[in-house]
Amino acid sequence: MAAPAAPSTIRWEQDDTGVVTLTLDDPGQSANTMNAAFAASLAAVADRLEAEREGVRGVIVTSAKKTFFAGGDLNDLLAVRPEQAGELHERGMAMKRNLRRIETLGVPVVAAINGAALGGGLEIALACHHRVALDAPGSKIGLPEATLGLLPGGGGVARTVRLLGITDALLNVLLQGRQYRPRQAMEKGLVHEVVDTPEEMLARARAFIDANPSSVQPWDVKGYRIPGGTPANPKFAANLPAFPANLAKQLGGAPYPAQRNILAAAVEGAQVDFETAQAIESRYFTELATGQTAKNMIQAFFFDLQAVNSGRSRPRGVEPRKVRKVAVLGAGMMGAGIAYACAKAGIEVVLKDVSAEAAEKGKAYSAGLLDKALARGRTTPGKREALLARITPTAEAADLAGCDAVIEAVFEDTALKHKVFAEIQDVVAPDALLCSNTSTIPITSLAEGVERQQDFIGLHFFSPVDKMPLVEIIRGGRTGDEATARAFDLVRQIGKTPIVVGDSRGFFTSRVIGRFINEGVALVAEGVDPASVEQAAAQAGYPAKVLSLMDELTLTLPRKIRNEARRAVEAAGGTWEPHPADAVIDRMVDEFGRTGRSGGAGFYEYDADGRRAGLWPGLREHFTRPDAAVPFTDMKERMLFSEALDSVRCLQEGVLTSVADANIGSILGIGFPGWTGGVLQYINGYEGGLPGFTARARELQALYGDRFAPPALLVEKAEKGETFTDTPGTPAA
Ligand code: NAI
């Protein structure tokens, strides 16, 4: 007995002039995706079009959903196993053959892009002869597959290369997975027309059909040449070697296989006929989709990010509430940035510092950012004025009356922070949320400075505030659920991503990034050439090299943190274990007076403008030993493992309560390499899974010290065959 036919996800409507409108409308789903039902519907539509070809004058492809088409089914891709490669390849090729049948039917096919067309959505549109995009709010057009460790495997590489030329396709569309607003997409050559109303969109689609009764794609016209040439052309071939070299330089040797495969698929595909190019593209796609990096990136950048932003860590049962007026205390680097972020989100800001001048200077920072945005066409004079009008600089506590939230960012000093909260707690609204942006002081002890300790919470922004997408919310010992939920809502209100962590020295992010830095400096202590240490960090995929990062943070900071930590350990009757990095930091500061970039000299030399001017040659002289022999793989893994292992400890200690928060916080806050999917997904995806990771940690422990000892929680999970996940039962690896 035949299986019941799946309901069609493509509606067919034909008018009496012979125009067929195909409406993408997956029943029961909020968005259209490339699932099995779509594949079957597409095949059926291609059959019918061919069969009824004589009566069809043109085809319009549009969607009944808010988005045109959402793309591949990521749940499917997360679950696909390497042994299913053949099946995955065949499924992709079948879908592409069906799109190709419609593309080569000989009648005009127009995409009426009524909403976002990302990934698979744009690939369907690219198979059409003409693309009209509606400038709907939130509409984005692009092929973001690279950001998930994939490549556009639905003909997106083959067609953009033919449409735009190899160079533009790679740089504007494929390698970075950029997403464009409809008008920008038109400038880049991805769509032909942009309209403002759905009626106009359909009218333009019909007009194209009327004017082009027998459309073919440019690449199906005999003698078509790819714009800008192909490697077969000597001039282009001469430039080609620069491509892989530039790419390698950009990636710093980091393991981002998607970019390599995109480059290969584009270049190889440009030298063959269209059908072969599609097959090449599918082969490279399948390799990525069955590999670990894509799974890591899909888990982090799609599923974890969504879970975090949608409130996985927000306490339940607290009514959402918007902040209307915020007091920012301290108009220094952080306070000024926080004021800008709040005002940008439409919140009234009272920016307070010790003097009116200092507060004005903080406001001027926003004016500076807006001037730059204006120069780049990213804002308008009207919006600039409106934003600035929302910021009131002041030196008077009385001006904070009525503020329903406070964000403190004065100097890092407990007594001062207590003092400023004491000054304002009776002036602001009686139930105002009280937040501190401290980077190191435990929230529980800071809360002792206010009367309403349940309303006091850490709100740790990252610098520069306008660029950094993460905010770390820290619950102190007495912070209530209501305050946590309100802090969460405030972070979402300003469009950033909130993670929620428990109180600990350095909380989660600063504590874990400290392990990375210490590991890099420890390698210098062992006599490894500092250039190799930096190279190891780059090849591991870190966006900032480890010694240069230490210079940015200043070398006196780890000393201060270390001394405080030591006092706390000793006060509790414990013994303090020094880290191998300590001696190098001490010598750099005490013997050589090199405190980092702000001091004009650190691991690097700096020119008069504060720009890095090479590693300090003294490092080699004083620290490097020719017999130092740490294998390169060990260097990279020591950095990655030190952070991952400490994150497991954070989970064990309750500093972290969510795997998604850990993964997202590590990538967006402290530059843990994106290809890993984050600190805990790195462990899930490590070769051999948790048991493999645990065994490797023990090896590193034997070679380099007990800081690599696997924590109990890791050993336990490895033994039980579990992975790090927030949703038990779903495999994350
Ligand atoms: P900053 O030195 O640039 O600014 C501090 C500001 O506080 C100054 O403008 C000062 O005049 C003002 N201030 C001092 N006493 C005050 C008072 N009684 N009332 C009002 N304002 C007063 O310092 P920055 O870098 O902005 O740091 C501020 C806080 O943010 C610190 O707690 C720091 O640990 C934390 N933080 C810093 C990060 C960074 O990257 N710099 C990152 C995350 C947190």
Each residue of 31-84: pLDDT tens digit? 999 999 999 999 999 999 999 999 999 999 999 999 999 888 898 899 999 999
Biggest alpha carbon–alpha carbon distance for the chain: 89
Residue 235 has pLDDT above 70, yes or no: no
Instruction: Quote the pLDDT of residue 1.
Output: 41
Residue with the two structure tokens 């304002």:
424
- Name the nearest CA neighbour of 144 among 278, 305, 36, 270: 305
Query: Given the DSSP bridges, would you call strands 470-475 and 58-63 parallel, antiparallel or unpaired?
Result: unpaired
Outline which parts of the chain fall under CATH 3.90.226.10: 10-290
Q: Identify the residue whose C-alpha is closest to ligand 1 atom 30.
A: 409
| Under 8 Å between Cβ of 547 and 597 | no
Q: Which tokens belong to 329?
A: 């205390």
Instruction: Quote the pLDDT of residue 3.
Output: 47
Buried b (16+ CB within 10 A) or exposed e, 368-385: ebbeebeeeeebeeeebe
Pick from 421, 439, 471, 505 the residue to mutate for probing ligand 1's pocket: most ligand atoms within 8 Å of its CB.
439
CA gap 45, 39 in Å, rounded: 10
Query: What is the pLDDT confidence band of residue 565, given thresholds at 50, 70 and 90?
Result: confident
CA 409 to ligand 1 center in whole angstroms? 4
CA 554 to ligand 1 center in whole angstroms? 16
Pick from 399, 410, 474 the residue to mutate for probing ligand 1's pocket: most ligand atoms within 8 Å of its CB.
410
Query: How far lies 180's CA from each of 172, 241, 338, 638, in Å?
Result: 10, 29, 27, 39
CA gap 304, 283 in Å, rounded: 28
| Interface predicted TM-score (ipTM) of this complex, two decimals | 0.96
Which ligand 1 atom minimizes the distance to the CA of 438?
Answer: 32
Q: Identify the residue whose C-alpha is closest to ligand 1 atom 9.
A: 332
Instruction: Quote the pLDDT of residue 252.
Output: 72
| Under 8 Å between Cβ of 303 and 726 | no
- Name the nearest CA neighbour of 670 among 660, 679, 657: 679
Phi, psi of 452 (to 5 degrees): -95, 80
CA 481 to ligand 1 center in whole angstroms? 27
CA 251 to ligand 1 center in whole angstroms? 35
What average pLDDT is seen over the chain?
94
* High-pLDDT (> 90) share of the chain, %: 88
CA gap 394, 402 in Å, rounded: 15
Ligand 1 — pocket residues by CB below 6 A? 329-335, 352-354, 358, 409-412, 416, 420, 437-439, 460-461, 463
Kindly list the catalytic residues.
Answer: 123, 145
Outline which parts of the chain fall under CATH 1.10.1040.50: 510-720
CA gap 548, 535 in Å, rounded: 11
CA gap 305, 126 in Å, rounded: 29
| Under 8 Å between Cβ of 417 and 436 | yes
Q: Which positions ≥6 away from 646 have C-beta within 8 Å?
A: 511, 512, 515
Q: Which tokens belong to 533?
A: 């240490």
* High-pLDDT (> 70) share of the chain, %: 96
Which amino acid appears at position 388 of this protein? L
CA 561 to ligand 1 center in whole angstroms? 17
Query: What is the pLDDT confidence band of residue 440, given thresholds at 50, 70 and 90?
Result: confident
User: CATH class for domain 510-720?
Assistant: mainly alpha
Pick from 334, 357, 460 the residue to mutate for probing ligand 1's pocket: most ligand atoms within 8 Å of its CB.
334
Which ligand 1 atom minimizes the distance to the CA of 335?
Answer: 26
Domain 10-290: what homologous superfamily? Answer: 2-enoyl-CoA Hydratase; Chain A, domain 1 (3.90.226.10)
Outline which parts of the chain fall under CATH 3.40.50.720: 325-503
Q: Which positions ≥6 away from 210 have C-beta within 8 Å?
A: none
Residue with the two structure tokens 């998930």:
148
Which ligand 1 atom minimizes the distance to the CA of 436?
Answer: 32
The CATH number assigned to the domain with range 325-503 reads 3.40.50.720
Query: What is the pLDDT confidence band of residue 561, given thresholds at 50, 70 and 90?
Result: confident
Residue with the two structure tokens 């600039």:
384
Residue 733 has pLDDT above 60, yes or no: no
